[in-house]
Amino acid sequence: MIRDALITDLDEIESIERASFEEPWSRASVEAEFYKDYSHFFVYEENGILAGYIIIWDLGPEWEVVTVAVAERFRRKGIGRKLLDYALILSGAGAEWRLEVACDNEAAIRLYESYGFVEAGVIKNYYGQGRNAFRMLREAVSLRGNEA
Ligand SMILES: CC(C)(COP(=O)(O)OP(=O)(O)OC[C@H]1O[C@@H](n2cnc3c(N)ncnc32)[C@H](O)[C@@H]1OP(=O)(O)O)[C@@H](O)C(=O)NCCC(=O)NCCS
């Protein structure tokens, strides 16, 4: 199940964060997300175990996937997809989305592409020297249906 993240989840979130990223966010950076009014922070819990989380920002005209991570032993079970589904439903179909992802992060790029995100440029050294990121964008879903 997906629910709002709580301060009491910080230990588990920190341990997934450290295991998932070469340059993990500090605990203070993660904690700061609880206090930003534009930030939404959700966790996925399976049988009481915190298996993953997502942070998204509602930046007015557009939304941003700030981070999403799933504990290694829970990956490839559809949890990343459930977290993104939840975020996209929250924003509504009319929202535009953006994100940055490391150019070598094939799993995440495949996941985002499957939701219609497309590459819109490279940001050099975004994650440190020699570690580039793709900017990816997702347009608002047309509510008018297919035009013949
Ligand atoms: C990216 C991540 C969140 C995906 O979570 P997940 O729960 O394993 O993803 P899902 O099981 O929902 O997979 C959804 C889709 O993502 C893609 N995907 C996920 N893992 C993949 C992999 N190892 N290789 C290629 N594609 C992958 C596939 O398109 C997959 O759909 P499919 O299973 O139908 O083929 C997870 O790999 C992770 O936590 N990685 C480390 C943190 C990270 O890099 N986060 C992204 C920051 S921008």
Rounded-to-integer distance, Cα 143 and Cα 148, Å: 14
148: confidence class by pLDDT, cuts 50, 70, 90: very low
Residue 148 lies in a domain: no
Contact criterion met (CB below 8 Å) for 14 and 27: yes
Q: Is residue 50 part of a domain?
A: yes
Full domain range(s) for residue 46: 2-138
CATH number of the domain where residue 76 is located:
3.40.630.30
For the segment 118-131, what is each residue's pLDDT rounded down to a tens digit?
Answer: 999 999 999 999 99
Q: Is 107 near ligand 1, meaning CB less than 6 Å away?
A: yes
Measured from the Cα of 99, ligand 1's closest atom is 48
- The rounded Å distance from CA 54 to ligand 1 centre is 13
Give 52-103 pLDDT, tens digit per residue: 999 999 999 899 999 999 999 999 999 999 999 999 999 998 899 999 999 9
| pTM for the full predicted model | 0.95
Cβ 144 under 6 angstroms from ligand 1 = no
CA of 16 from ligand 1 middle (Å) equals 14
Band of residue 144 on the pLDDT scale cut at 50, 70, 90: low
For residue 72, give the nearest of 16, 123, 4 by alpha carbon.
16
Q: Is 39 a member of any domain?
A: yes
